[in-house]
Each structure stands twice: as C-alpha cells, then as structure tokens.
Amino acid sequence: MRRTLTGVFLLALSTISYSASIQTEVDRLINRVNPNVNLGIVVLDLTSGKTLYRRNAERLYIPASNMKLFSEAAALMVLGPDYRFKNQLSMSAGKIQQGVLQGNVYVRLSGDPSFSRDNLNTLLSSLKEWNINTIQGNVYIDSSLANVDPYPPGWLTTDLSYSYGAPNAPVMVDSNRLTVTVNPGAQAGDPAIVEVDDGGGAIALNNQATTKANAKGCGVGFSLDQENHLTVRGCVGVGQWAVQQRLAIKNPLMYAQGMIKSQLAKANIQLNGQVQLGKTPAGSLLIATQHSKQVSQLMADTLKPSDNLYADSLYLHAAEKLNNGIPVNWRNAQPLIKNFLQSQTGIDFSNAIFTDGSGLSRYSLVTPEQTISLLKFLYQRFPLSYEYIAALPISGRDGTLQKRFQIPTQQGFVRAKTGTMTGINSLSGYLYTANGHTLAFAMYVNRQPGKASGPGRPVLDALCTYFLQKSPGSSRLSRIFSPHQRISFQLNPTQAERQKAHQAKWRRLESAIRTALRGQSVNVIYRGNELIVSDNQTDPGKVWSTLQSVVKKYPFAVMLSSKTLTINPSGSPILLWVQALDTPNQAQRIWSIREAS
C-alpha cells in the first residue's frame, strides 16, 4: 500500500514538473520569436485531460476566420451532417396552351451557397419537359435571403471588391463571384482581350486595358460597380501570361436576373414578363427540385479554403432553422446561435460577440478558453467529431494549411482553422504529438493599438511545431509504433501539389505557344485547361507548323474549327476538324489546344 501511494505521489510530482517545464519552455519560445506579441493561448491534452499551457485564456480576441469554428459547429448541430439545401421550381398557372404558360414561374432558393448556374439551368430546363416555349407571366426569385443585408456589420469596404468579400444577399448564384481573364493582343497597341466568365449574368464590360511591347511596368486593375459595370484598366505585355482575377459581384439580384433571362433564351423559351423578387404562392405546382451536397461536405468546402460566403450562409441558415424556419438578419441571428451553442455545450458565451459566421467582421470577439472548450466538446461527441475534424485544413496537404507544416514530421498531423486579417492571426484545432497524444489548441494574436507588435504567424507556427515534437505524459501507443511514421499515401504528392503542377504545365505551354507564334497575326487566349488561337491569316499552315514544333516538348491535342480544311492533319499533334457555320465576326480559324490523354 505504501509503495502504491509513493508511486502515485511520484507520478503526480513528475506531471507537475513536466507541466512547469512546458510553461517555462513555451514562455521562452514566445519571448524569443516575438516578446511584444498580444497572444492568447490554451493547449489541452485530450488524451490525458490535462491543460499543458495557458496564457490570456479569458481575454477577448478578434478571431478572424477562426469564427468559422463556431458557425460551422452550430450548423452541424442544428442541421445535422446529412442535411441538404433544397432549391425548387414551381408554377402558378391556369393552363398551358400551345406551349404558352399562362401564369408565373417561381425559382425558390433556400440560401444554398453552392447553388450554381448549372443547378439553375437544371431547374429551368425542366420547363421543356412540359413543352413550354413561352412564359406569359413573370419569373419570381423566391429567396430566403431577400430581406437580409448583403454585408454584416464590421466588414471593411476595402474587402468588398474581392472574391472573399462577396455578399450573401439577396440571392446567391455561383457564390456571387466571377472570373475575369485578361490576355494580351497580337501586337503592341492592340486592346487587351478581356473575357468575363459571367454565365450570361449581364456584366457590362468597359475594356480600357491595352497591349504593350514589354510587360515591364504593366499591371491590370479591376472595378465592378453596383450596376455590375466592369471596368478593366492597365496594360499587359505581348507574350506574357494571361492575368486572372476573381471578383465579388456587387449586385447579385441583377446578375441572377440576367442569368435567368439568358438561360431561358438558350432553351428557346420566350419570357414576356420580368424577372424579379417575389414569394411562391401556397399551393403552387412543384416542377423540379435540386439538392445541394450534404452539410458535412459543405463544411469542408467552407473550412478548408476558408470560404466566407459559405460560412455566413450556413450561419444564417442555422439561425433560420432555430427561428422556426423564418429567415433572420445578422442582428437576430447572433442571439439564436449563441444561445443554442451555450445550451448544447454548456460553454458560457455571454461575453462573446458573433457578428457574422465568417469572421470577416472586426466586431466579433471570442476567448481562447471558449474556443478550446468548443474543440473539446466536439472531439468528445462521436456523432459530431469525425465530420467536424475531417472538414478542417490538413497541415502540408490541403486548404489554408497546404503550405504550412510541410516537413514529414508535421505533414498531416495538424488539423486546424487559420485566420488572417491585418493585425490579426489565429490558429485553432487539433494536433497529434510524437507519442500519440491528441492536443486541442486555440491561439489568437491581435495587434494592440498604439503598441509595438511584431508578426503573429511565426509565433503560432513555432508553438505548433513545439507541441508536435513534445511527448506529454506516458503512452503505451508510442512504444508499439511511431505515431509520426508516414503512411504510404503520405509519400506521394498531395492532390493540391498535383493540381499546382498541372496548372504550371499549362502556363508553360501558354508561354511556349505565345513565344512560338510571336510575329503572327493571331490572338492567343488562355482559358485554364484550354488555349484558343484566333487565326485570320491567309496561310492556315503557319499556325499548324508552329503547333507541330511546340508539341514535341509539350504534348497536346488540337481541335480546329473552320469552314474548310486546307491543311494536311498528319503527324503530331492529333487534330480534330469541325466544320464551322457562317458566324458574323468569327475568325477564319479557331484552334483549340487541349490536353492529350
């Protein structure tokens, strides 16, 4: 008995000694990296239940994108991992006679952040199954976000032009974002070639960008206003890579209206009325339903790339469900989400501020202690833990952690949410130690006004690296196998690395073709995984012979669209000829360069 008590005493003494050692080592590490940092941190060993380190745990911090940890937890618990958004097409009509719908059509959107132009087209195309070729009435967009402010309080106006600042309301199609591509013209003095991937969303383009002989000193600026007028200014150099930019759509309703009109026209359906916001009458005839991916998958689409629009959409939708299915604005969503999380988890959120679900608002505030308590709760709840942890970015592999913690002993052993705004850095989640313990950690750095403060991210990365290498407590697991031993798939390039290599290959091919065609009167247009050569030259063999020389180094296939085939398509690359129809202002030949299988 005495020996047992002595053993317990010695174990407790060693644990206290170990904890004190960590406290001293971490304090020394922080002071070495950035002694002036305003850091709040809690590190909890979920395997042993012991807190390994605390500093300013009860202090309120602006979380930046770590706010998504709270909004996604709420969405998961309110909606469930298998929940799907539902978007519908209905009609209220007395009759359809000779293809004419005598009434209105209703597109009912549920606040689904993933709703795309293709989903919209699927709904509208179902009208053809009813042999409808004319809509005598209007098309009404019944959006659950119709009365929601586009932007939460606390968003900076400088963020609103960028894709991460896209508005959530009053409607969402294509995440209310678009891609603009600027290609150089054939020669200096030509206008730059600007393409807007708006899917018929009625973006009016004012192209003021030009082509220069040299790219030195060139740059391109983009401005999209409230009327969806896009102005592109600046210059690009002959032969330089195409410039691509993702932009937030400032007027989502106008964008959706234009897209609906465009898709109806492509389906040969004449709309005699207007497209506008409205409500679906009770008892309307349901024509088609489209479902989103499950919430568990939408969470990964939110947390891994840190998508603000997705986070805010799930936040508002969860609040709507808590409000008995009645849509709510940002101010009313906050108490609903806070009270729900507190009632479910037992965590005191009384001093926390949940202004939005994304963390782009600078009004939101949480503490490291609240964060670590949430992470602990989710980890210990089997129905939630796997979906939640799987949705987080993985160190060295994907999302916002793809380029962090990339060395073999770190890659794959941190799953955490990043957060970055000017003067703000955060990192919270889970890590797997060298002896097989799982730690939860919450770390916030906020710059204090009027005080000197160095960079925050190096401190956070240094702390994570420190705890990855530690062996807290004893572990039989680590004596059986090495927890950080790499598994087969970890020895291979990540999917993100493969995608990056694939994109780099196309950019090299773009450069090679632009260089090889320099001096010819052709325009080369980059479209991601396709290059288009618009050719009005007299001799069709000039481009073909150039492509045959380039393909020796960069394998590809070619599709040629022209009225006649006047070249000998023998040898490499493989060429598919498609006879073109008479189209006004169409180039004589369109060469489409695509990947060879």
* CATH number for position 313: 3.40.710.10
Domain C-terminal end among 238, 272, 294: 294
Retrieve residue 369's tokens.
């202690």
How far apart are alpha carbons 79 and 296 in whole angstroms?
10
* CATH number for position 271: 3.50.80.20
pLDDT of residue 480: 53
pLDDT of residue 586: 76
Q: Are residues 586 and 531 in the same domain?
A: yes
Retrieve residue 518's tokens.
């320099």
How far apart are alpha carbons 472 and 22 in whole angstroms?
9
Q: Are residues 387 and 331 in the same domain?
A: yes
Retrieve residue 281's tokens.
């009458």
Question: Does 99 map to a domain?
Answer: yes
569 phi/psi in degrees, rounded to 5: -80, 50
Question: Does 10 map to a domain?
Answer: no
Question: Does 389 map to a domain?
Answer: yes
Q: How many domains is the chain built from?
A: 4
Q: Are residues 308 and 231 in the same domain?
A: no
**Cα-based torsion angle of the residue sequence 260, 200, 163, 387 in order, rounded to the nearest 10 degrees:** 50
Question: Does 367 map to a domain?
Answer: yes
Q: Are residues 348 and 406 in the same domain?
A: yes
pLDDT of residue 470: 85
How far apart are alpha carbons 563 and 546 in whole angstroms?
21
Q: Are residues 312 and 241 in the same domain?
A: no
pLDDT of residue 5: 37
Q: For the chain, which ranges sit under pLDDT 50?
A: 1-17
How far apart are alpha carbons 148 and 88 in whole angstroms?
20
Domain C-terminal end among 491, 506, 541: 491
Q: Are residues 429 and 514 in the same domain?
A: no
How far apart are alpha carbons 455 and 448 in whole angstroms?
12
Question: Does 204 map to a domain?
Answer: yes
Question: Does 42 map to a domain?
Answer: yes
* CATH number for position 584: 3.90.1150
Q: Are residues 257 and 142 in the same domain?
A: yes
Our CA angle for 563, 569, 574, nearest 5°, is 110
pLDDT of residue 570: 86
Q: Are residues 581 and 504 in the same domain?
A: yes
- For tokens 């045959």, the residue is 548
Q: Are residues 581 and 528 in the same domain?
A: yes
Q: Are residues 139 and 187 in the same domain?
A: no
Pairing of strands 243-248, 177-183: antiparallel
- For tokens 């500093």, the residue is 55
How far apart are alpha carbons 363 and 353 in whole angstroms?
7
Q: Are residues 336 and 457 in the same domain?
A: yes
Q: Provide the residue range defining the domain that includes 91.
A: 84-150+253-294
Q: Are residues 112 and 170 in the same domain?
A: no
How far apart are alpha carbons 60 and 321 in whole angstroms?
28
Question: Does 25 map to a domain?
Answer: yes
Residue 546 three-state SS = helix
pLDDT of residue 202: 83
Question: Does 193 map to a domain?
Answer: yes
Nearest to 525 by CA among 226, 141, 263, 190: 190
The DSSP annotation for 204-230 comes to EEEE--EEES--TT--EEEEE-TT-EE
266 phi/psi in degrees, rounded to 5: -65, -30
Domain C-terminal end among 491, 522, 551: 491
Radius of gyration (C-alpha) of the chain in whole angstroms: 28
